[in-house]
Amino acid sequence: MTKSVKGGDKINEAFYELSKEKQMAIYNAAMEVFGKYEYKRASTDLIAAKAGVSKGLLFYYFHNKKTLYMDTYEYVSKIVEEAVSDVHLLEITDFFELIAYATEKKVNMHIENPFITRFSVRCFYSQKEDVSTEVQTEISSWKTQKYDTYFRNLELNKFKDGIDPERIFHMLIWMTDGYLHSKQMEGKPIDVQEIKQELTQWAAMFKRISYKEEFQ
């Protein structure tokens, strides 16, 4: 069994023969180090040490640093998808109820997997690095795909005439993006509960602006 990752090489099938605990140790180490440092400064020696494997063995599983990074990105994307998506999510027809439900699940996921938060933020702001093009392409595709998947059953009659819910969705993402960027520039830690509170307030504001009065 081998797997190719976008922008990287094939992963050695020996990696999938490891125990789940050992695979998780490698992923957690990669998320921690790639989340703390820019891609070019992230040390594979440090990742190997934190994972409890030799650097040679790490590169035996992953042909190079980029393959390790992109596979870690795909792993994180899968974790987020599994944490947020469920049958109930697809049954929600109110735009803002769906936003609130998905936010709650995503916050819980970040609390349970602390390394994911910093790694995800690093990915989001990856620029002019060997992985930037692939990551930004994946993120852009994710935004469109997730809207089409999660919001396909919306009760559009609740919106005022001329209001595009997809634009509100993207505006909420941009506002969260700006919030995270300001925290990063100030060197302050990312507090997922604080993000939840901010997003809840923004969503309430957009609901007042975009919903017909009888649905507010």
Tally the residues of the chain.
Answer: 216
Specify the higher pLDDT residue, 117 or 67. 67
pLDDT tops 60 at residue 2: no
Domains of the chain and CATH, by start: 3-215 (1.10.357.10)
Interval 73-125: pLDDT, tens: 889 888 888 887 787 888 899 999 999 998 888 888 878 787 888 888 777 76
| 62: β partners | 11
pLDDT at 212: 95
* pLDDT-above-70 percentage for the chain: 92
Interval 139-174: pLDDT, tens: 777 767 777 777 888 899 999 999 999 899 888 888
Instruction: Calculate helix-pair angle for 165-186, 114-124, nearest 10 degrees.
Output: 100
Specify the higher pLDDT residue, 38 or 26. 26
| Residue 64, Ramachandran bin (φ over 0: left; ψ between -120 and 50: alpha; else beta) | beta
pLDDT at 33: 96
* Whether 53 contacts 3, CB under 8 Å: no
DSSP the chain: --EE-TTS-EEPGGGGGS-HHHHHHHHHHHHHHHHHS-GGG--HHHHHHHHTS-HHHHHHHBSSHHHHHHHHHHHHHHHHHHHH--HHHHH---HHHHHHHHHHHHHHHHHH-HHHHHHHHHHHT--SSTTHHHHHHHHHHHHHHHHHHHSTT--GGGBPTT--HHHHHHHHHHHHHHHHHHHHHHTPPP-HHHHHHHHHHHHHHHHHHHB-GGG-
Q: Token pair 């923004």 is at which residue?
A: 202
Question: 5: which 2 tokens?
Answer: 């990752």
